[in-house]
Chains A and B, each alone.
Chain A
Amino acid sequence: MFYRQSGVRHNSYSSDRDLFPIPADRYALWFFLALGIAAPWLIDGLYLNSYMLPWLLWTAAALGLNLLTGWAGQMHLGYAAVMAVGAYSTVHAVRFGIPWEFALLIGGLSSSVIGSLFAVAALRVKGLYLAITTLAMQFVMDWVLNHSPAISGGSHASLQSPTFALLGQDITSDAGLYYVALGWCVLVTIFLLNMRRTGLGRALVAVREKDFAAAILGVNSFYYKIIAFATSSFIAGVTGAILVATFYFLASPEQFSVNVSIQVLAMVIVGGLASIIGSYFGAALILLMPGIVNGLFAGFADMVGLQFGPETLAHIPNAAYGALIVIFLMVEPMGLGKIYGNIRDYLLVWPFDQMKK
């Protein structure tokens, strides 16, 4: 209905590889980008910084994990640990006097190094074994953070993040912090959009589908697994650092505990493996849905006049939220991104039922 495809033709191979050959997709993209940029004027500051900002940052984190799990097919249960490495490295670097721009790079690179170490393990173990290996990494990291006062300041301490600044400008306003998150999320999205159509992206998919078949095709699966771990960890590290700098304002071990790892993985799986738009949906569902369901439920209870104990009020929304995830995954096991794809396909062939032969 909205998609117009006639007259879309390519007279060079580079235009044939366009990210969004159909104009309607481009318009939608520009529309949402404009909406994102205009958000500080449209949305109240509180909502901007407690909903939009974390949503964008967790989306960036989910995209990073999606690169590893969705594209390269490597299970990872210690993603939060990798984010922690980046966050702590960056904060320490800034406290040491290094400007934020470089500190973020240092955080990303140190995450990369630690994360890549696990790629070496990934070469030997696969599937569930890799999941357990990465889970071990998570626990090792938790232990290290809790027991190294030099890093975290002690078992229940937290590390104050210095004021965020870019190019010598302190960034403290709501809008400023929001734009940092938006910019990073857009940057990661652009990177992944383009990665899909490069040799790297195709090699990762080959490794995912069957690593020894890929090796027979001449794809060095060791090399590409390391690349995938390193890149994904870099994104995790920088995202963790920005999260601390713009949202938490201090770093503490429980921000990067094992349940955070599980949450990011849930975002990826609910959103859809190897789906970029799915990561946006997945992060939104996992992050924002509990609050919304809570509000709806409380409102509903008020309206009907039911009296619930605080226990019930706390647990029923959680159950509803869990059920929601189950329902989404039952409807479309490939995730929310795939549901979006199905709707798009439906409209693409409208009013027919399939592409004509």
Chain B
Amino acid sequence: MLDNAAPAITGDETLATLLVRNATQYGSEIAMREKARGIWQEMNWADYTQEVIHCAAGLDALGIRPEQAMLILGDNRIRLYAGMAAMGLLRAYAMPTYTGATLEELQHFVGEVPVAAALAEDQEQVDKVLDLRQAGADIAHIIYDQDRGLTDYDAPGLLSWEGLLEKGAAALAADPDLRDRLINASGPDDPAVFMHSSGTTGKPKGIVLSQKNVISAARNGHAGGAFNENEEVLAYLPMAWVGDYALTVAAAIAYRFTVNVPERQETVLRDMCETAPTFYLAAPRSWDNILTTIQVGIENSTWLKKKLYHFFMDRAVAAERRKLNDKSGGAMEPLMRLFGEWIIFGPIKDQFGLSHLDNAFTGGEAIGEDTFVFYRALGIKLRQLYGQTENSAFNAIQAPDEVNLHTVGRPLPGVEVKITEDGEILLKADSVFAGYHNNPKATAETLKDGWIYSGDAGYLEDNGQLVVLGRLSEVVYTAGGERYVPNYIENRLKFSPYIKDAAVVGAGRDQLTAMVCVDAEAVGHWAEVHGVPYVSYADLSQRPEVAELLNEAFARVNKALQEPLQLHRYVSLHKEFDPDDGEITRTRKLRRKVVEERYANVIAALYDGSEQVHVQAIVAYETGEKGVVERTLAIRKV
């Protein structure tokens, strides 16, 4: 078929056939862009497909067989993406990992399936694989992308990406049928990627998503209006997060996105500006960060600019709030919008690379009303997306002009939703996985009759909008029998720009209390502006002035809570929760058990009426060393 309109995706394609389709019909369109040595190096679909096939042939020549796995270690890189796609061709598992993953976490992954190879970004990641080997893992081949610092390495099985492609090219030249065999080897039910659950409770569970899963998820997302063809996207999400795979691999191949890979993690903001993506998915945390940066920038700005900003922004925010409450605005509103767009909103969006955005999403957690309304006021049609790894990231999205804060929108076409009597959300779709890897017990708990038990509590409104309340397993009761979801209250606390993380305790107690971590950047800036001296994060967190700031945030949250669920006492912790310390997951979800264990004495002090508590915390540094921090924390009443 050579006409220009792409045939609709049915979900029965494979990554290989889609790649070949892109290479033959849209060969000159840009598939990938990567910032390297100061400029965006472009790769079109023909070259990218060629690279994937050569890589697959090379891996095949190395002896990678179906059911074997390859670890993917590193930040987003074109070659790592190509390697992931190549594993799909070989019916083998591509297993992406978080860059910051510790040795123990990796060892757990290696124990699940025979890991035959590792694709590492650079020397740092190669070292990690060598550590794994030393710890007993049998990883035969290590392929690396960047050779800096690796010239003197003589570990067996170490191979450069170029070397791998050469092997592939040689194999393809020697066997003319190999190319067709590679393209046709995989079917829709063969694996696309080996993901892991986030592991808020216990060890991460292995989740194999088949090609049918990920491609139908892309199809559902497209049908539901989440994205169009040829979107411009920025590949900055961690590769081990399902959202990244679903967008920058599955949807990108199915709907021919141009994927822009930033130079480094530190340059994402700048690269974002140069890319000006048309589609952007970010966690509420990232949206909050951009909001904080904008507000801090305005606060540092001059009198005139500040006045103009507040003049237009306050009105636009008020207009958005009216819209949320289904009230109509005044006659002046469109005019204000027009001028505001020209004078304030347009330039701000432009500075952050948000000006070309057609589809903006927040997902993973609830988003704060202030943040949400701010972006709508800025003219960005921010929408909520509800998804999970087990369902290849796409469950439900909001429509652009049908927005409520408390709903996550309608289920996507192709996704059936049912609510159990307990209030649990059940989902059924082509994109739902076939079961946890080698974990029949967990599978049986989650998958029943093709319905996946999401573990989320929620309900469907009469107009078909889905409401997600929180994790079902997190619903707990106070001593007085009050039912609540800690996460729900924590999110409300975190809506304050000054609170980065929070842990609410109170299960089985007579009242609720909280531990919070202040946001170093926002509070630090506030302290600077208000002349509050401090020497370190720990010092800042204990300042009485900061406590007043936190009091305001708590008072606001308490106002929205029923009497028995109000927070009574809190402590501002001396360090932020850190995934390296195991307190939060790499996607920044709270590991409640770990936190409650580690801060047991703080929690005890919160309830025994003492004024302060002495803590000794073990800190894991990035080098792997451990240190001890001692502090006296003040316990404050709301």
Q: Residue A6 at the B interface, CB < 8 A?
A: yes
- Asked whether A5 and B273 contact (CB < 8 A) given A353-B297, A356-B297, the answer is yes
Q: Which residues of A contact B297 (CB under 8 A)?
A: 352-353, 356
Q: Chain A nearest CB: distance from B13 CB in Å?
A: 30
Q: Which residues of A contact B33 (CB under 8 A)?
A: 9, 11
- B342 & A353 in contact (Cβ 8 Å cutoff): no
- A7 & B356 in contact (Cβ 8 Å cutoff): yes
CB proximity to B under 8 Å, residues A9-33: 9-13, 15-16
Q: Residue B298 at the A interface, CB < 8 A?
A: yes
Q: Residue B276 at the A interface, CB < 8 A?
A: yes
Q: Residue B265 at the A interface, CB < 8 A?
A: no
- A351 & B298 in contact (Cβ 8 Å cutoff): yes
Q: Residue A350 at the B interface, CB < 8 A?
A: yes
- B275 & A11 in contact (Cβ 8 Å cutoff): no
Q: Chain B nearest CB: distance from A42 CB in Å?
A: 28
Closest to B293 in A: A356
Q: Residue B533 at the A interface, CB < 8 A?
A: no
- A351 & B305 in contact (Cβ 8 Å cutoff): yes
Q: Residue A4 at the B interface, CB < 8 A?
A: yes
- Most chain A CB inside 10 Å of its own CB: which residue of B273, B275, B308, B309: B273
- A1 & B343 in contact (Cβ 8 Å cutoff): yes
- B40 & A11 in contact (Cβ 8 Å cutoff): yes
- B350 & A4 in contact (Cβ 8 Å cutoff): yes
Closest to B276 in A: A7
Q: Residue A354 at the B interface, CB < 8 A?
A: yes
CB proximity to A under 8 Å, residues B299-315: 300-302, 305, 308-309
Q: Residue B132 at the A interface, CB < 8 A?
A: no
Q: Residue A150 at the B interface, CB < 8 A?
A: no
Q: Chain B nearest CB: distance from A28 CB in Å?
A: 17
Q: Which residues of A contact B309 (CB under 8 A)?
A: 351
A303 to B73 Cα, complex, angstroms: 80
Q: Residue A8 at the B interface, CB < 8 A?
A: yes
- B274 & A7 in contact (Cβ 8 Å cutoff): yes
- B348 & A351 in contact (Cβ 8 Å cutoff): yes
- B355 & A7 in contact (Cβ 8 Å cutoff): yes
Q: Which residues of B contact A351 (CB under 8 A)?
A: 298, 301, 305, 308-309, 343-344, 347-348
Interface bracket on A:
20 to 34
A351 to B341 Cα, complex, angstroms: 12
Q: Which residues of A contact B302 (CB under 8 A)?
A: 353
Q: Which residues of A contact B305 (CB under 8 A)?
A: 350-353
Closest to A13 in B: B39
Q: Residue B25 at the A interface, CB < 8 A?
A: no
- A7 & B275 in contact (Cβ 8 Å cutoff): yes
Q: Which residues of B contact A13 (CB under 8 A)?
A: 38-39
- B273 & A6 in contact (Cβ 8 Å cutoff): yes
Q: Residue B610 at the A interface, CB < 8 A?
A: no
Q: Residue B351 at the A interface, CB < 8 A?
A: yes
Closest to B300 in A: A353
A6 to B342 Cα, complex, angstroms: 15
Q: Chain A nearest CB: distance from B271 CB in Å?
A: 9
A224 to B39 Cα, complex, angstroms: 31
Closest to B271 in A: A9
B interface secondary structure, majority: helix
CB proximity to A under 8 Å, residues B325-366: 342-344, 346-356
Q: Which residues of A contact B300 (CB under 8 A)?
A: 352-354
- A12 & B39 in contact (Cβ 8 Å cutoff): yes
- Most chain A CB inside 10 Å of its own CB: which residue of B276, B344, B352, B356: B276
- Most chain B CB inside 10 Å of its own CB: which residue of A3, A11, A15, A354: A11
Closest to A11 in B: B40
Q: Which residues of A contact B298 (CB under 8 A)?
A: 351-352
Closest to A349 in B: B351
Q: Which residues of A contact B39 (CB under 8 A)?
A: 10-13, 15-16
Which residue in B40, B274, B301, B308 is a CB contact (below 8 Å) of A6? B274
Closest to A355 in B: B351
Q: Chain A nearest CB: distance from B316 CB in Å?
A: 14
Q: Residue B269 at the A interface, CB < 8 A?
A: yes
A146 to B392 Cα, complex, angstroms: 91
- B355 & A6 in contact (Cβ 8 Å cutoff): yes
Q: Which residues of B contact A349 (CB under 8 A)?
A: 351
A12 to B41 Cα, complex, angstroms: 8
Closest to A4 in B: B350
Q: Which residues of A contact B351 (CB under 8 A)?
A: 5-6, 349, 352, 356
Residues 264-291 of chain B, each 1 if its beta carbon lies under 8 Å from chain A, else 0: 0000010001111000000000000000
- B40 & A10 in contact (Cβ 8 Å cutoff): yes
Q: Residue B42 at the A interface, CB < 8 A?
A: yes
- Asked whether A11 and B42 contact (CB < 8 A) given A350-B305, A356-B297, the answer is yes
- What is the number of residues of chain B that contact chain A, defined by CB distance less than 8 Å? 34
Q: Which residues of A contact B356 (CB under 8 A)?
A: 6-7
- B41 & A352 in contact (Cβ 8 Å cutoff): no
A3 to B346 Cα, complex, angstroms: 10
- A16 & B38 in contact (Cβ 8 Å cutoff): yes
A10 to B39 Cα, complex, angstroms: 6
Q: Chain A nearest CB: distance from B311 CB in Å?
A: 11
A10 to B37 Cα, complex, angstroms: 11
Q: Chain A nearest CB: distance from B268 CB in Å?
A: 12
- B276 & A6 in contact (Cβ 8 Å cutoff): yes
Closest to B38 in A: A16
Q: Which residues of A contact B42 (CB under 8 A)?
A: 11
Q: Which residues of B contact A356 (CB under 8 A)?
A: 269, 293, 297, 351
CB proximity to B under 8 Å, residues A329-346: none
CB proximity to B under 8 Å, residues A105-136: none
A352 to B269 Cα, complex, angstroms: 16
Closest to B348 in A: A351
Q: Which residues of B contact A350 (CB under 8 A)?
A: 305, 347
Q: Which residues of A contact B40 (CB under 8 A)?
A: 9-11
- Asked whether A7 and B353 contact (CB < 8 A) given A16-B39, A351-B301, the answer is yes
A138 to B619 Cα, complex, angstroms: 76
Q: Which residues of B contact A1 (CB under 8 A)?
A: 342-343, 347
Q: Chain A nearest CB: distance from B297 CB in Å?
A: 4
- A352 & B301 in contact (Cβ 8 Å cutoff): yes
- Most chain B CB inside 10 Å of its own CB: which residue of A6, A13, A16, A354: A6
A8 to B298 Cα, complex, angstroms: 24
Closest to A10 in B: B39
A260 to B308 Cα, complex, angstroms: 47
Q: Chain A nearest CB: distance from B235 CB in Å?
A: 15
A195 to B310 Cα, complex, angstroms: 44
Q: Which residues of A contact B349 (CB under 8 A)?
A: 6
- Asked whether A5 and B350 contact (CB < 8 A) given A10-B39, A11-B42, the answer is yes
Closest to B305 in A: A351
Q: Which residues of A contact B301 (CB under 8 A)?
A: 351-353
Q: Which residues of A contact B347 (CB under 8 A)?
A: 1, 350-351
Q: Chain A nearest CB: distance from B215 CB in Å?
A: 29
Q: Which residues of A contact B343 (CB under 8 A)?
A: 1, 351
- B342 & A9 in contact (Cβ 8 Å cutoff): no
Q: Which residues of A contact B41 (CB under 8 A)?
A: 11
A8 to B270 Cα, complex, angstroms: 11
Closest to A352 in B: B297
Closest to A5 in B: B350
Q: Chain B nearest CB: distance from A277 CB in Å?
A: 23
Which residue in B38, B269, B274, B352 is a CB contact (below 8 Å) of A8? B274
A13 to B36 Cα, complex, angstroms: 11
A48 to B576 Cα, complex, angstroms: 69
Closest to A350 in B: B347
Closest to A7 in B: B276
A354 to B296 Cα, complex, angstroms: 11
Could you list some 24 contacts between A and B, CB below 8 A?
A: A4-B346, A5-B273, A5-B350, A5-B351, A6-B274, A6-B353, A6-B355, A7-B275, A7-B353, A7-B356, A8-B274, A11-B39, A11-B40, A11-B41, A11-B42, A12-B39, A13-B38, A349-B351, A351-B298, A351-B305, A351-B309, A352-B305, A354-B300, A356-B293
Q: What 5 additional pairs, Cβ within 8 angstroms, besides A1-B347, A7-B353, A349-B351?
A: A4-B346, A5-B351, A6-B274, A352-B298, A356-B269
4 pairs of A and B residues whose beta carbons are closest in the complex: A7-B276, A9-B274, A6-B276, A353-B301
